[in-house]
Chain A
């Protein structure tokens, strides 16, 4: 059982941002970074499938600059067998279609039985990379998966696809397939500092694509949205008083 898991180092905005590149990109000084939550669930699911199968390999792949290696290291510490990083400077700000295309080149070479992606990334939330990747690989795809049961002899999997309102569609999919993983599937395992330190010595393969696909869109301009904000109470005691007033009003 060979499983490719696509992971991303996502930016978290820590302050009112400044924009660069003619207001087309966020100044990275305003970002903190962390592994994408959905991808950690995808990796956990992959590790369990590999371990239940008794043998196999989990390969983690990211598209990111050299700092993104910290996410790969985390994945190796969790138990991934191998890590690949795809990068060229032109990939900065790439959208889901561009990312899917460079991931497809690596996935094709790996010939996996299964490709797992997070359902979405926390920063861009396009929910598109996995579905696009499947199309490029000509694999079937099931998006927003909350349970996977493999039948390796039949080369199929029975998966739960979670729809709106928590309705679950149970469906069967032929392998190889791409699944996009929803949080909650299996709680990602805890990694010890020691495991991370050990993983830091592992070799990470670098793939440098020379041509990129057409993006789905181009950012014309970024702005900080000015929506109608809440009336702000100042401090815990005034908001508590407001809550009591509203709750008493609702009961009356």
Chain B
């Protein structure tokens, strides 16, 4: 299944946020979205996931979702969004309930996704007993349980420390590279971290400052499993991206500060 952004534009009241964004994500593809703070990345992701209606253009899907998909477009949240009163297992189970699945199927799925995210030993733990990294693993396990076609990730690692981030990044790489078929997982990955973008993405959309427009689409070739974070080539690409964004980011930063001063 493909997810298509078709000339999406959006504004909050008088404030234009997104302007004419178009791109496509297919199975096995990772599109990273980078851009200065406040340029509309999160808004774009919400529009793609159907949580918000764009003012112009549309988010479209094409082709069949994977067999037995419960939720073709599935989010992984920056703040994890776990139910504190449910165990790890219960949080995963939440998205399997109400679909008329057999108990055995539910149990198998839970066991499978927990195994894939290294959480088997923590099945009975409550979120507050887990570290940040572990919690985001639960978020990912829950997303996987819904058998999505495309994962929509909004800065999924930004709340975590650098080491944890590194470990989870390896896992994400494995996740999106698993199968090469039409059922393979696609991903839209919003991040501030350019190293993450070059590590994971096939294409990187660089947005301008608000209203967000696609300034450039950077392609990173090669099997992401072979990439290493200290690869000089990747470091250079990240550097290039930063040069693209820097002026905008500084400008956006000043704008935000002004806005706050005025509002305050």
Q: Do A and B bind each other?
A: no
Chain B residues engaging chain A, CB cutoff 8 angstroms? none
Chain A residues engaging chain B, CB cutoff 8 angstroms? none
